[in-house]
Amino acid sequence: MKRKVFTIISVLSLFGQIAFSQNKVDPSKFENMTVSIKYYDKTMYYPEPDINPVFVHISIKNNSKDTLRFKIADDRSFSCDFNVFTVKNTQLPQTEELRRKRTTNQTVYFREISLETGEEYAFVENLKDYIQITEPSVYYVELTVYPELYKSKYLNKTSNRLTLEVRPSPAAASSSVLPVKNVTAELLKPEEIAPDKVVEQTIISRQKSLWDQFFLYLDVESLFLRNSSQKRKYGTVSAEERERMIKMYKADLIQSKIDNDIVAVPERFEVEKTVYTKTKGTVTVTEWFKYPNYYEKKSYVYMVRQREGIWQIYDYTVTNLGTE
């Protein structure tokens, strides 16, 4: 009788192990996966969530001799987590949007990534999409990656740790001379102003490095799609990936890595001519760029169109006019 009981227990135990193996992924397959993070073009960081992103470059590397396979969600918040700590080791809270996404029933789209020995997979995320940072201070940042997505949190790999210095917000006084509104979440909205004023305010905002106001009247998506290869890729990805591509494009503009003409800073400018119909128009501006021994003079033609009463810049051309 005892032998029969032992046999039954053994069989049940075996079935239990089989069932577990069918529902769980062996953590050992990710032992040689390494995750590393660094700042993507490090700059000055302030608490404001929308106008001052903290972009972090994330790299996943295969250090094993075998092929490494893992899943990456189109919405990266289902593949990774930022953990931010104060000097007292208190962890900062997640954003409300992140908590909402993870508690809402939805389909999570993902792709399987295969890395051979020594290969890496990298992407960039905005830390402020994950974590609420409201006070200037020194923080410590690390990342956790979920190779089988957030639903399988027991499988995770943690990165190295970065130091994040968040400084007090710069005084708003520097923008008081601008013919635009001060930067507040409640007041900063596009207005029904004429095309020449749209261009004028955009240039002045760039001169003052007020990026939130600079983007206020730009049709960023249309500017991004001027590049044919970007346009082809944009048409094949999910809505979440499109949003991510636009964020990265804005980040690259801020860092002057691409489309330098639209973010170039003139010392002075003059609006020469404005022509427009009810829905479309052009604004021609002469701009002077200062160099140590001369000025470079250029003619910009900003193409604008109206949507729901708001004029936006959606394209532009530049002609060199020589030096002075």
Q: Does position 7 have pLDDT exceeding 50, yes or no? A: no
Band (212; pLDDT cuts 50, 70, 90) = confident
Q: What distance separates the 2 farthest-apart alpha carbons in the chain?
A: 105
Query: How far is the C-alpha of 276 from the C-alpha of 274, rounded, in Å?
Result: 7
As a whole number, the mean pLDDT across the chain is: 83
The Cα–Cα gap between 319 and 174 comes to 31
Question: In the structure encoding, which two tokens stand for residue 180, read together?
Answer: 């635009």
Cα–Cα dist 102/153, whole Å? 12
* One domain, residues 75 and 124: yes
Tell whether 155 and 206 lie within a shared domain.
no
Give the whole-angstrom CA distance, residue 219 versus residue 306.
Answer: 11
The last residue of a domain, from among 124, 147, 166: 166
Number of domains into which the chain is organized:
2
CATH number of 128's domain: 2.60.40.2360
Does 61 have pLDDT greater than 90? yes
Q: Which CATH number belongs to the domain containing residue 215 in this structure?
A: 3.10.450.50
Report if pTM > 0.95.
no
Least confident of 113-122, 124-133, 169-178, 206-215: 169-178
Candidates 104, 115, 102; CA nearest to 149 is 102
Strand partners, 122: 59
The predicted pLDDT at position 173 comes to 33
Task: Please give the structure tokens belonging to residue 199.
Answer: 């261009």
Domain boundary among 143, 166, 189: 166
Task: Specify whether 162 is located in the same domain as 177.
Answer: no
Q: Could you tell me where the DSSP H helices lie in 59-109?
A: 96-103
- Domain housing 140: 27-166
Calculate what percentage of the chain has a pLDDT beyond 90. Answer: 52
Q: What pLDDT sits at residue 186?
A: 40
The pLDDT assigned to 187 comes to 47
Residue pLDDT, tens place only, 106-150 = 888 999 999 999 999 999 999 999 999 988 889 999 999 999 999
pLDDT at 13 over 50: no
> At residue 22, does pLDDT exceed 60?
no
Residue 299 lies in a domain: yes
Which of 97, 313, 83 is CA-nearest to residue 216? 313
Higher pLDDT, 20 or 45: 45
Q: Does 61 share its domain with 190?
A: no
Same domain, 39 and 87: yes
Mean pLDDT of the region 62-82? 93
81 is a domain residue: yes
Residue 50 has a pLDDT of 63
Which of 127, 142, 166 is a domain's end point?
Answer: 166
DSSP 168: P
130 and 217 in one domain?
Answer: no
15 lies in some domain: no
Considering the domain architecture, whether residues 182 and 316 belong to the same structural domain is answered as yes
One domain for residues 258 and 149? no
The first and second tokens of residue 318, run together, are 């530049």
Mean pLDDT across 157-180: 66
The predicted pLDDT at position 170 comes to 55
Which residues make Cβ contacts (< 8 Å) with residue 247, sequence separation at least 6? 53, 126
Q: Is 10 left (phi over 0), alpha (psi -120 to 50) or beta?
A: alpha
Question: In the predicted model, is pLDDT for residue 317 greater than 90?
Answer: yes
Domain check: are 201 and 152 in the same one? Answer: no
User: Is pLDDT at 17 greater than 50 in this prediction?
Assistant: no
Same-domain check for residues 148 and 196: no
Q: What are phi and psi of 149, to 5 degrees?
A: 75, 170
Same domain, 57 and 138: yes
